[in-house]
Structure 1
């Protein structure tokens, strides 16, 4: 059973965009698709370290802004002829609220 930590609201993330969360495992990009699905992957392309959070979101994929590698937001796998993978992280959504698996998130200051 997972414990969950609220990391924000759906409206905190622009459609077809991302916001980042700092975790003990590194910087995680939380993406929102055009259809309001949310996904979390590490914010570093394995090819040249590009910030995936600054990439173009299309469907359930993101294109790295440096060299156009495309990654599935669902699986983290590089698409097409490119080879590589980025970590994915568990999220859940309750209405407008977005939660990340607590084992991923740094202890957050009490609100």
Structure 2
């Protein structure tokens, strides 16, 4: 999950994750926008990011795809933004195959 890096938004996310029962309320809202990846849960894990490589939050938000997940309106990073993120990780062995698949998907959609 990529969150907008503001204190107000971080507080909302902290309360939502706490209500999910995934952690004790030991986290401060600033922890959610520190740039560190916070992981919560076990089998149903959530990774909370306030920054990702290759794109800004505004770029991801402006390029988002909207859909539903389990009946809940949800925004997902767009294909172009995912490609930028994957290219910027520096993990070519793991991410370049994903980049190729995402580019193929994007090219098929544009036909």
User: Which TM-score tier does this pair reach, normalised by the shorter chain?
Assistant: under 0.3
Higher relative contact order (CA 8 A, sep 6+): 1
TM-score normalised per structure 1: 0.27
Pair member with larger Rg? 2
Which is richer in helix? 2
